[in-house]
Structure 1
Amino acid sequence: MKDLLGLTGLGINLPITDPTWIFFLVLVIILFAPIIMGKLRIPHIIGMILAGVVVGEYGFNILERDSSFELFGKVGLLYIMFLAGLEMDMDDFKKNQTKGLVFGFWTFVIPMALGIVTSMWLLGYSLVTSVLLASMYASHTLIAYPIISRYGLARIRSVSITIGGTAVTVLLALAVLAVIGGMYKEETVGSLYWVLLVVKVLALGALIIIGMPRLCRWFFRKYDDSVMQFVFVLSMVFLGAGLMELVGMEGILGAFMAGLVINRYVPHVSPLMNRLEFVGNALFIPYFLIGVGMIIDVRCLFTEGEALKVAVVMTVVATISKWLAAWITQKSFKMRKSECSLIFGLSNAQAAATLAAVLIGHEIILPSGERLLNDDVLNGTVVMILFTCIISSVVTERAAKRIVAEEHDGETDTDKKKNDKENFMISVANPETIEGLVNMALTIKHPKQKKELVALSVINDNNTSEAKEMMSKRNLEKTSIIASAADTSVRTVLRYDMNIAQGIIHTARENDITDIIIGLHRKTNILDSFFGTMTENLLSGTHRQVMIAKFLVPVNTLRRIVVAVPKQAEFEAGFSKWVVQMCRMGKILGCRVYFYATEQTLAYLKRIIDREGANTFSMYSVLEDWDDLLLLTGQMAYDHLFVIVSARKGSMSYQPSFDQLPGQISKYFSNNSLLMIYPDRWGDPEEIISFSEPRRAVGPTAYDTVINNLYKWFKKE
């Protein structure tokens, strides 16, 4: 079919070579394959692969697998491995690293053993050929990983175990490939070649693990442009992959390591993460899947009997061996059946390292003139890739649905009420602090919380102007853009009120806000207070949790969270809420949370963290006296977040020494990022009005001053 439309005079030849039409057809496949597959209840990934079969050389020959498919296909492959490392829950990974190693061991050993036996016994291949063929069964590619991301399961235990095992088995499989490939290289000189290979791989791994985090931390602090950050992260991915290829290993390992290293600098709920996932899932990964389908020759199954036999043996052995590895892992650690299915589904697909192994083995010519891996193995491999990808996608989709249903059924009514009750409002005034406040809100809100954020800008009726109104609208628009980039909806509110504090309080009541986030007040003159009149009036006018934040570094570059907790803080109404939120923030940012409190309060802290399953690396130290707060200056660094849990006057945990906090913070903690938390308290001030406590702005009284002086005098004594 040289001229498909010769009768019409358009002169469209097949395969199409014009870049414009190639890209258009690929986009059409990416657009319609999920729609068609969705109606048939088939995973979208299968649609991409089958579409590649149809339009490829062995189908209707509409598109040629040219350099564009090789380029974008390799980028997509590296992207899959990068996202697997980037989205991994590092806390869960560290806790389950032993399970991951065990699964990696079984998913390598079982396919190797079955592969060698069946290749020599059923197919009659030599030992070297059988070992290389078995290593192809041992490796696997996380083709179905986009399904996991779509269902929001990237951070569960079974996924972490599978990804950890993937790194182990791919590394060992590529080592087998390197050894066999090196046996037939002319430059291989005895054991020195292998020693140098191991040394280079270890040195490169150390360079990526040690050097790349420092480079990321420096860049993210210096540059906050979203495009620059996106390009920088991609450059780190391909730098890691390229360096790994330079030392003789596959680039997928370098991309995976880069994802692990950059993990803590790209929070799971952040604009940068959303951009990375969007670009990969919209273009690069589908391009790779279509390219995989284009190399599959289905006709060989019906034209060559030996190729059919090899394809059947390879597909059956690869599938059975991966299922056995997942089943043994499930029984070893008493996991659920749905977790076993998920592990098997993720680990069954063969593509990346398998393709590398078969192509390298096919190019090796033995002294007898035969190829190490003949044409039957090459054709059998591409058929195995097709069927294992289909099995992987179907099993993963079903297992993911089952796990989501189990989690939904296991969620108690109390948990659902907690999730539904969380509603954040951000008061925006200074455009320089908006990004930090939004990013903090994204890290502390519940991941299943679907309620929109409320962004508020209040204009004082007594000091209104067109310039102030325009500035407020720009601030709200900027807030909406930042949150939308993280796939989070925001409702903006521009309000006119007699004073800013009352505007915030009234908006919070109207929208049933549970958490109010504001930036730290900037002193305008020497007589101005540390928090400002607005903040003091806000604290006295609402019983909801108020968080006052100041960030000197981007939120994603924080390395530690230090929380100072006063005595009797456990008796406050909002104690559990802020504890879980701080642990949630540490989990998403990948940093430790250090709690300093009295022994009694620490016991409550540990109990809540264990009960709520906060799942973070928390450290506990005793802070006997609140006046010893200054001792924490030795524990703080520039990239640490200092969290001070305070209380309103009249609360159980309120102490007279709280009045000294502004001076202490200004003098000793001015070079640290700061977050002050005023937890929920019992009783709404709007509903509690009495003769003994009329509604007014809370300020220091003569009584308070006398008490403070007596307290200081006895303290000195």
Structure 2
Amino acid sequence: MDTSFFDHLLKEFDLPLKNPVLIFSTILFIILLSPILLRKIKIPGIIGLIVSGTIIGPHGLNILAKSSAVELFSTIGLLYIMFIAGLELDMSDFKKTRNKSLIFGFLTFIIPISIGFPLCYYILGYQMNTSILTASMFATHTLIAYPIISKFGIAKNEAVAVVVGGTILTDTAVLIILAVIMGSEQGNLNTEFWVRLITSLIIFSAIMFVIIPRVAKWFFSKLESEKTSHYIFVLSVVFFAAFLAEVAGVEPIIGAFMAGLALNKLIPHSSALMNRIEFVGNAIFIPFFLISVGMLVDVSVIFKGTNTLIVAAALTVVALLGKWLASAVAQLIFKYTAPQRQVIFGLSSAHAAATLAIILVGFQEKIIDEYILNGTIILILVTCLIASFATEGAAKKIVLSEDKENNGNQEKEEELKQENILIPLANYDYLEMMLDLASIFRNKKSINPITLLSVVPDNDTAEFNLINARKKLSDSIKYASASETKVDIVATIDYNIIGGIIRTSREKSANIILSGWPHKSTFIDKFLGDKHTEGIVESLNKDFFACQLNKALVLHSRIVVTCPPLSEYEYGFKVWFSKISILSKELTIPVVFYCNEKTQVTIQNIIKKSRLSMSATYINEVDWDHLFPLKETIKETDLLYIVSARKGSVSYANSLDGIEKKLDKFYPDQNKILVYPQTKKSGHLYEEYDDMRAESLSIGLQTIQKVKHSIFNIFKRD
């Protein structure tokens, strides 16, 4: 029997594995199985990946060695963590907490160094440069537990924003210290060194925050339909930014974080692009990085003498103590809760990327000895384990506390769960834009899918048009799945388009109707005005939004809202206001309210009570009878959000008559949303006239349609 095949097969499994396909499949199996197995014994998945890396690494079973492929994916994973941290940062909150981030960045930098330097210099007896470099290592931290924060959905918590903001400050400061010490060791610490470093950092910042956002905005607007290209473009920006940071004299992780901040406003958190970024990172790149961290750990250093154990224990205790003291002081200053303090400690206590970079550079330059190197490896393992447990425990407490707060208003919670959005479509060219807006508007607690509706006129080509409508609507399911948005499609036939929309809205129990902007094509339509909107608004007492979307939402710089007097007394006031707050948060843009003083007070109270991070300004001097000359103050990049009212409602005024025609005249190409709020908690505005509903009227309209077709056929034959 020929044994060559078996010999070849066995050779493929020689340790460490060398076949790239086998290496990749092995790591994928670890990524798949380790979190599942360890979840049974309530160990965070992150720890499972790190421990798995230790077991299969060169210092464990030697199944995998540090190859170029593993290094590449590990680097991508680290950059991805920093990029997502910058991307998920709520810039409105960050602007409000930037002073807190500065304070925490200073605390988490100075306290560990203040404890670490005396330990290294006086107790362990190291030289000045060695002591400074080792002490600076204590100040660094890697957001290795950030995926836990994302999983529990508390990335918007202020404590998280403070830590993320502080990370960039402290890591940048530490890496500058590394550059200074390296310059000192090489004798290059002179004026030229400082001028070169400062100049390169200024140029790097200008590229990231001036050039990159403009290029990205142009790219997203010109290639709006090329969704795959959007993701490739984002990746290109991340790695280019990392490269530029390295050229500027700081670590690539700083560049990745800056890339996240630069693209933050252009990638809404509910968008399909954001979902793709998080999915690929959490599924592939970040687990690769965590496994590679575990592969660095050499457990055998514990048995290499008492000196290694003493140094390792001292470094680990000081590293954890310094970060805990920084988080405790931050809690006292900012008046945070105990779980928030624990989140700060959990996120800032893990030492991995920057720590390893400092120690390896120092060891290669013979500034740091093998005792500190081995001790740091143990420190990395211990701090990553503690950080993961602390962060997960704190995240659970914060989620539970938020649930308790929400339980106080159970009726509101149930109302949010029952939110049901209906999108009647006439022009399929705007389907994706309407879905994007609905995905942002849709409350994340809602259990209902977004319903897409196409009403086909009942004529000779009705069957063909119905099949075509269903086909076009079906394409939306694939598009919506990219952002994990549930979609239900409905295509129906009706003699009266408005009647079909009204009937379907009742069948689906829709409470929000998101309609496209009515287009008037005939002379009669232009003369009579918008009967499409008017017919739905008068027949249904639901929150109605008529939307004209000519350009991408991310291109806006402000939301300009006009609220008529007494609009705060309408039943649907909180609904349309909540959609503004969501839109402002997702697009990270301010809101300008044109309203009177009483409406302003109501809005300010809601913002304060709900602790919204909305940046709002108010203009009270408004002539509501001559509202539309505001065109002089409206910018091309503004999103208009006009609140109207139904006839007979408390906020209705004669100035709102023919508002659609006025908007078309003054702002023909502007993105705008016209809102008709619900007036009372009722399914129908004119319930006492039940026999006059649009469905009943449609029966008469069917007869008229038949007569019209008959007359048309007579003239056609003639």
Give the TM bin, normalised by the shorter chain: over 0.9
1:402 aligns with 2:397: yes
Structure 2 contact 342–391 (Cα < 8 Å) conserved: yes
Q: Give the structure 1 partner of residue 702 of structure 2.
A: none
For residues 79-107 of structure 1, the C-alpha deviation after alignment (integer angstroms, 9 at most, x for no partner) is 10000000011111111111111111110
Q: Give the structure 2 partner of residue 213 of structure 1.
A: 213
Give 1:184 shift: 2.5
1:215–1:691 Cα change, 3 Å: closer
Q: Give the structure 2 partner of residue 13 of structure 1.
A: 14
Distance in 1, Cα, partners of 2:681 & 2:459:
31
Correspondences of 1:332-411 after superposition (within 5 Å): 332-364=333-365, 371-411=366-406
Structure 2 contact 642–675 (Cα < 8 Å) conserved: yes
Distance in 2, Cα, partners of 1:181 & 1:205:
23
Structure 1 contact 141–350 (Cα < 8 Å) conserved: yes
Give the one of 483, 486, 497 matched to 2:483: 486
1:204 aligns with 2:199: no
Distance in 2, Cα, partners of 1:93 & 1:415:
28
Structure 1 contact 45–144 (Cα < 8 Å) conserved: yes
Q: Give the structure 1 partner of residue 579 of structure 2.
A: 581
Comparing 334-343 and 678-687, the one that deviates more? 678-687
Correspondences of 1:5-404 after superposition (within 5 Å): 12-185=13-186, 188=188, 190-224=190-224, 225-364=226-365, 371-404=366-399
Give 1:684 shift: 4.6
Distance in 2, Cα, partners of 1:383 & 1:11:
32
Give 1:170 shift: 0.6
Distance in 1, Cα, partners of 2:333 & 2:682:
53
Structure 1 contact 56–295 (Cα < 8 Å) conserved: yes
Structure 1 contact 580–609 (Cα < 8 Å) conserved: no
For residues 407-448 of structure 1, the C-alpha deviation after alignment (integer angstroms, 9 at most, x for no partner) is 001112243134224221222232211121111122223343
1:661 aligns with 2:659: yes
2:344 aligned partner, one-letter code? I
1:281 aligned partner, one-letter code? N
1:396 partner SS: helix
2:519 partner SS: coil
Distance in 1, Cα, partners of 2:222 & 2:460:
36
Give 1:695 shift: 4.9
Structure 1 contact 542–684 (Cα < 8 Å) conserved: no
Comparing 595-604 and 143-152, the one that deviates more? 595-604
1:307 partner SS: helix
Q: Give the structure 1 partner of residue 713 of structure 2.
A: none
1:97 aligned partner, one-letter code? R
Q: Give the structure 2 partner of residue 618 of structure 1.
A: 616
1:339 aligned partner, one-letter code? Q
2:254 aligned partner, one-letter code? L
Q: Give the structure 1 partner of residue 550 of structure 2.
A: 552
Distance in 1, Cα, partners of 2:674 & 2:411:
28
Distance in 2, Cα, partners of 1:632 & 1:322:
53
1:517 aligns with 2:527: no
1:664–1:271 Cα change, 3 Å: same
Structure 2 contact 462–493 (Cα < 8 Å) conserved: no
Distance in 1, Cα, partners of 2:63 & 2:604:
63
Comparing 114-123 and 493-502, the one that deviates more? 493-502
Distance in 1, Cα, partners of 2:10 & 2:640:
73
Give 1:498 shift: 3.5
- The gaps in structure 1 that reach 5 residues or longer are 365-370, 698-717
1:398–1:692 Cα change, 3 Å: closer
2:648 partner SS: coil
TM-score by length of 1: 0.92
Distance in 1, Cα, partners of 2:205 & 2:140:
20
Give 1:643 shift: 1.2
Comparing 449-458 and 332-341, the one that deviates more? 449-458
Q: Give the structure 2 partner of residue 436 of structure 1.
A: 433
Structure 1 contact 540–685 (Cα < 8 Å) conserved: no
1:692–1:555 Cα change, 3 Å: closer
TM-score by length of 2: 0.92
1:288 aligned partner, one-letter code? F
1:182 aligned partner, one-letter code? G
Structure 2 contact 558–591 (Cα < 8 Å) conserved: yes
2:650 partner SS: coil
Distance in 2, Cα, partners of 1:244 & 1:449:
42
Distance in 2, Cα, partners of 1:342 & 1:148:
9
For residues 25-49 of structure 1, the C-alpha deviation after alignment (integer angstroms, 9 at most, x for no partner) is 0110111011111112101111111
Structure 1 contact 348–388 (Cα < 8 Å) conserved: yes
Distance in 1, Cα, partners of 2:73 & 2:277:
15
Structure 1 contact 514–545 (Cα < 8 Å) conserved: yes
2:502 partner SS: helix
1:488 aligned partner, one-letter code? T
Distance in 2, Cα, partners of 1:208 & 1:168:
16
Structure 2 contact 557–637 (Cα < 8 Å) conserved: yes
Structure 1 contact 572–652 (Cα < 8 Å) conserved: yes
Give 1:696 shift: 6.5
1:250 aligned partner, one-letter code? E
Distance in 2, Cα, partners of 1:215 & 1:466:
46
Q: Give the structure 2 partner of residue 608 of structure 1.
A: 606
Distance in 1, Cα, partners of 2:140 & 2:671:
45
Distance in 2, Cα, partners of 1:184 & 1:10:
47
Structure 1 contact 15–61 (Cα < 8 Å) conserved: yes
Question: What number of residue pairs does the alignment pair up?
Answer: 689
1:622 aligned partner, one-letter code? N
1:276 aligned partner, one-letter code? I
2:29 aligned partner, one-letter code? V
Give 1:480 shift: 2.0
Give the one of 396, 412, 416 matched to 1:415: 412
1:257–1:32 Cα change, 3 Å: same
Q: Give the structure 1 partner of residue 712 of structure 2.
A: none
- The gaps in structure 2 that reach 5 residues or longer are 696-718
Comparing 490-499 and 550-559, the one that deviates more? 490-499
Q: Give the structure 1 partner of residue 541 of structure 2.
A: 543
1:648 partner SS: coil
1:395 partner SS: helix
1:505–1:164 Cα change, 3 Å: same
1:432 partner SS: helix
Distance in 1, Cα, partners of 2:683 & 2:260:
49
1:161 partner SS: helix
Comparing 613-622 and 588-597, the one that deviates more? 613-622
Structure 1 contact 73–287 (Cα < 8 Å) conserved: yes
Distance in 2, Cα, partners of 1:508 & 1:592:
33
1:474 aligned partner, one-letter code? K
Distance in 1, Cα, partners of 2:270 & 2:687:
41
Distance in 2, Cα, partners of 1:507 & 1:692:
17
Comparing 648-657 and 350-359, the one that deviates more? 648-657
For residues 476-530 of structure 1, the C-alpha deviation after alignment (integer angstroms, 9 at most, x for no partner) is 2233223221112122222333422222222222222211101112222232248
Comparing 268-277 and 629-638, the one that deviates more? 629-638
2:523 partner SS: coil
1:468 aligned partner, one-letter code? N
Structure 1 contact 564–597 (Cα < 8 Å) conserved: yes
1:7–1:434 Cα change, 3 Å: closer
Give 1:6 shift: 6.0
For residues 693-712 of structure 1, the C-alpha deviation after alignment (integer angstroms, 9 at most, x for no partner) is 95579xxxxxxxxxxxxxxx
Structure 1 contact 145–346 (Cα < 8 Å) conserved: yes
Q: Give the structure 2 partner of residue 709 of structure 1.
A: none
Q: Give the structure 1 partner of residue 710 of structure 2.
A: none
2:639 partner SS: strand
Q: Give the structure 2 partner of residue 705 of structure 1.
A: none
Give the one of 562, 570, 573 matched to 1:572: 570
1:463–1:534 Cα change, 3 Å: farther
Distance in 1, Cα, partners of 2:529 & 2:186:
71
1:15 aligned partner, one-letter code? P
Structure 2 contact 644–652 (Cα < 8 Å) conserved: yes
Distance in 1, Cα, partners of 2:374 & 2:302:
9
Correspondences of 1:685-704 after superposition (within 5 Å): 686=684, 688-690=686-688, 695=693
Give the one of 448, 455, 458 matched to 1:458: 455
Q: Give the structure 1 partner of residue 637 of structure 2.
A: 639
Distance in 2, Cα, partners of 1:667 & 1:463:
36
RMSD (CA atoms): 2.3
